Chains A and B, each alone.
Chain A
């Protein structure tokens, strides 16, 4: 009953917002991140980055009729679908014009299904990477500035192919992330003609992984790909594989890239390689120059800045804050043709749009939306050299 009331109220508000059209003096953007829960340490920079973009636009006075952009925060808990859904409903009730979020893939799917689609609200997630979100029937309401793990699978397959690897053994951490990523790597690698000798899961937090490594070693393969966490079972697997002399080099997806891995494993890890989502270059440098108050290069914070920016560009283009009207322009704003827009140049972008020009927003994460509205994703190819993670090229 409460839901129904909320939904009714929300619909009424939405209608109100629609009538106001492009002449609203205030634009409200929801920021839905897991301020509590497993990624709470990442949540604060993500939210602040999104709010930074909003403050930049408000200060410029270029959006619509010099509208102010107000962020409204709500917590997803990262893994708490109930809290995330009610948080999103509250935002709708407060009359937001778009939602930056959610963060973790599970809650993002829940918000999309339960709140965004029924209310026709547009969401841009900075950090949900599950391949499952690519195939959801999202009524063109869901976008993400983070790449899908399916894309990481393709990149990994390319990296392996370029390095002349014909067969791999694959082990993943036994959860949705690990399983999704392992499936993506397996499918992509087999599509380019590689052989996957075995796919097994491992549990995190065990003392001993020699049995797992024994099974993997029996299956063989040129290389062992470990789709796990670098402080958890992934480290244990690599250690056990080195101890048993089963493999000398390892394939390391994003969850395994970090300074602690080479430090813990030691020189035996040299020569192992992998990739992690991330960008470098002009966009990120310009973003970093914007603020020193928090670490804006923290994981998924550049993506959050870009998500907020895309909302505001699309609103400018549609001359409307109604999701039904501006939603169709989001992809266009991120992609060519048009003038390249970098972080800190949001006002310039808004002006170009106002004068009828085209922009190609680059942003902090070199955003390029493909397929069902998700980031094409740039990846850094990492190789461990002398105990350091070295970026050897971008993909």
Chain B
């Protein structure tokens, strides 16, 4: 039995990847949940908003790189991030002005807004492909690893290596900062409070003099920020390709719904539940089990519950179970 090696193997293949993936999902789900809570529709265009944000950040990164600007060991993309967010805010506000405002004035049912959002999704989809193309884009620079597996093995003498990528570190740190800032904003500032009031009861909020257009404006700006940050972090960590952002829509929605739509805390919890389930269920536990169990009980099979091909099915199944047994999600969001 060798618990230390087991723990290192577990950290290397499950804990660290799941925590960073969970952070990316949580940031994405926060955007979805804010739109659902305040603007009252499921924004299916969120995945492609992330793609657009990541794309504009990539374009600025390339611009900075061509000017010879770099950020030392950190990726240049972090410097380009504010500019990417600005572009995304512009895009979302323009979309709101041209499309969503029209439907808001009509006071249409949420289901119509969902269809509208799908239309927007396809437009963003095409826009991103039109500008940057459908292929992979690489924009990572700086140091690749905080801890490298080979160095870790040499330093500790353990048989298992632990690798901790810079992008994983950045993802986790950024997610903590962004979430803390968001909660401070929602709970402590006047605008944040008015957004929550508008979310809780629209009519009452209007009666107490809250300007709905301002609330909508701030919501889109925050959502643009969250989507761009989530998109860039995912792109840095796993590579940018427009189609993968479209695929991310499912786990992101699953996260938001599992946690409770409209509840920011739930979105974060949901993100980690989905990430740990996806990674945990598709991980082959043989290695860890071999270290932990006595030798006589060492497994021959891989101890893999589901092949990795079914990764996306995991979010689907969790989504179904939650909707069947607890439609409001873990944290009592709004009923879907």
Contact = CB atoms under 8 A, between A and B. Distances in A.
Contacts of A211: 17, 278-279, 282-283, 308, 311
A253 to B, nearest CB: 21
A202 B239 CA distance: 17
A174 B308 CA distance: 12
A121 B18 CA distance: 58
B238 A200 contact: no
Interface string B16-41: 01000100000000000000000000
Contacts of A236: 239
Interface stretch (B146-154, B194-202, B219-227, B320-328): B146-154
B308 A200 contact: yes
Contacts of B308: 200, 202, 211-212, 214-215
B287 A218 contact: yes
Contacts of A210: 13, 17
A279 B21 CA distance: 45
Size class of the contact patch on chain A: 20 to 34
A214 B14 contact: yes
B44 interface: no
Interface string B219-255: 0000000000000001001110101100100000000
Nearest to A174: B309
A220 B302 CA distance: 10
Contacts of B247: 207
A206 B165 contact: no
Contacts of A217: 13, 287
Size class of the contact patch on chain B: 35 or more
A219 B302 contact: yes
Contacts of B145: 243
A208 B282 contact: no
A246 B159 CA distance: 11
B244 A218 contact: no
B198 to A, nearest CB: 35
B149 A245 contact: yes
A84 to B, nearest CB: 28
Nearest to B237: A208
B129 interface: no
B331 interface: no
Interface in B133-169: 138, 144-145, 148-150, 152-153, 161-163, 165
A321 B11 CA distance: 69
Nearest to B245: A207
Contacts of B162: 245
Nearest to B307: A200
A244 B283 contact: no
A114 interface: no
B189 interface: no
Interface of B: 12-14, 17, 21, 138, 144-145, 148-150, 152-153, 161-163, 165, 234, 237-239, 241, 243-244, 247, 278-279, 282-288, 302-304, 307-309, 311
Closest 4 CB pairs of A and B: A245-B149, A207-B244, A218-B284, A245-B161
18 contacts: A200-B307, A200-B308, A205-B243, A205-B244, A207-B238, A207-B239, A207-B241, A208-B237, A213-B13, A215-B283, A218-B13, A218-B287, A219-B284, A236-B239, A243-B144, A243-B145, A243-B165, A245-B12
Interface of A: 174, 198, 200-203, 205-208, 210-215, 217-220, 236, 243-246, 248, 264
